[in-house]
Amino acid sequence: MSLGMISDWYRRIIADRQLMTLLLLLLICLVSLLLFGDMLVPLFASLVIAYLLEGPVQGVQRLGLPRLAAILLVFGFFLTFLFLCFFWLAPLLIRQISQLIQQLPMMISQGQKALLALSERYPGLFSPEHIGDIAAVLRAEMGRFAQQMLSFSLASVLGLFTLLVYLVLMPILVFFFLKDKQRLLGWVAGFLPAERSLAHQVWHEVNLQIGRYIRGKFMEILIVWSASYVTFKLLGLNYAMLLGLLTGLSVLIPYVGVAVVALPVALVAYFQWGLSRELSYVLIAYAVIQLIDGNILATLLLSEAVNLHPVAIIAAILFFGGIWGFWGVFFAIPLATLINAVIKAWPRKEQELPAAG
């Protein structure tokens, strides 16, 4: 690419007010996220929840109720769900995590015995020295993990205070995001330049896609979580709720989450039953749940929300997850959708040529 082509491309961007408006808005959003992202976590989380609840609110409105009544009804169900999560689900998960941590030394010992038996049967595969080294590394990692849990517990008072603030603040934000949606959007629009049709085009597509994605992904997590929990419970697998939650969250990371979560499910089943029929039943059930999710459930819930190539999805997960961790993974597909919308709306050179007379 010559300097003349770069200069021509730069002049076309500067001369296009619509494009400059779009780029300026994207730059402001990016800088705000980088500088104030940690402080605005409750705000962003409340926006996500408001996106989740907007669909049910509109569904109730279609039944004939006014918007305020629909908001109050859906918001009441949301507060009930939040209450159950905080006073029933969270203690159950904490108890299962504590039990699993207490069982880790025994699991490591059982694993070491199994490897020693394997080395006796197949001497060329593992040597006792290698098995001892592996066990030592696992114990060292477990010790580091225990220290991290201890430091976490020492900071739990501040964490609990922050959680209580979020539990009060976020429902209030969610309620007003729903109640004053049009007023807030109008207030934001008042700061934008008049010539923003290109930015409005990108916003319309991204808003539609992100809303569908968040609601669809949340429903997918709930369904996979519930189905996994019931299945693991019926099979008698320990830590059924915890492993069911991990299976539900595995859908956040397409193609990768399935393999990552399969490991703890298989390990818990192995240390509970050994090489037995029960282990094979658990693995088969896990595979069936993931197959149904990938081929049926995700297609029904997200077919209109995700229109990206698998390579683009994986690249977005790696990139944004590396920058923002969990939230980067969660919003990887919406952010990739934003980039895709910008690319689609970006004016091509042939679009600027005058029509032939």
What ranges do the domains of the chain cover?
196-347
CA distances from 326 to 70, 244, 253 (A): 32, 19, 10
**Torsion angle of C-alpha atoms 133, 134, 140, 142, degrees rounded to 10:** -160
pLDDT number for residue 135:
66
pLDDT, tens digit (0-9, with 9 covering 90-100), for 79-131:
998 888 888 888 888 888 888 877 877 777 777 677 667 667 766 666 666 66
Run of H or E residues at 145: helix 128-154
The half-sphere exposure of 212 on its side-chain side, counting CA atoms within 13 A, is 17
What pLDDT tens digit does each residue of the chain (357 aa) get?
455 555 655 555 555 566 666 677 777 777 776 777 667 778 878 887 888 888 889 889 998 889 999 999 999 999 998 888 888 888 888 888 888 877 877 777 777 677 667 667 766 666 666 666 666 776 676 666 656 555 554 444 445 666 677 778 888 999 999 998 888 878 877 766 666 666 666 777 677 777 777 778 888 899 999 999 999 999 999 999 999 999 998 887 776 788 888 988 988 898 888 888 999 999 999 999 999 988 888 777 765 556 666 677 777 777 877 777 766 777 777 777 777 777 776 665 544 444 444
pLDDT number for residue 18:
66
pTM above 0.75, yes or no: no
Q: Which of 223, 269, 231, 267 lies closest to 249 in space, CA to CA?
A: 223
Cα–chain center distance at 202: 23
Cα–chain center distance at 213: 11
Single-letter amino acid, residue 264: P
Q: Give the angle 340-312-196 at the CA atoms, nearest 5°.
A: 10
pLDDT number for residue 125:
63
d(CA 220, CA 290): 11
d(CA 243, CA 232): 8
Are the C-beta atoms of 155 and 118 separated by less than 8 Å?
no
- What contacts 177, CB < 8 A, 6 or more positions away? 46, 47, 50, 184
Residue 163 CB neighbour total at 10 angstroms = 13
pLDDT, tens digit (0-9, with 9 covering 90-100), for 205-249:
677 777 777 778 888 899 999 999 999 999 999 999 999 999 998
d(CA 21, CA 2): 27
Token pair 């032939």 in the structure block, residue = 356
CA distances from 197 to 78, 126, 167, 354 (A): 36, 66, 38, 20
pLDDT number for residue 228:
95
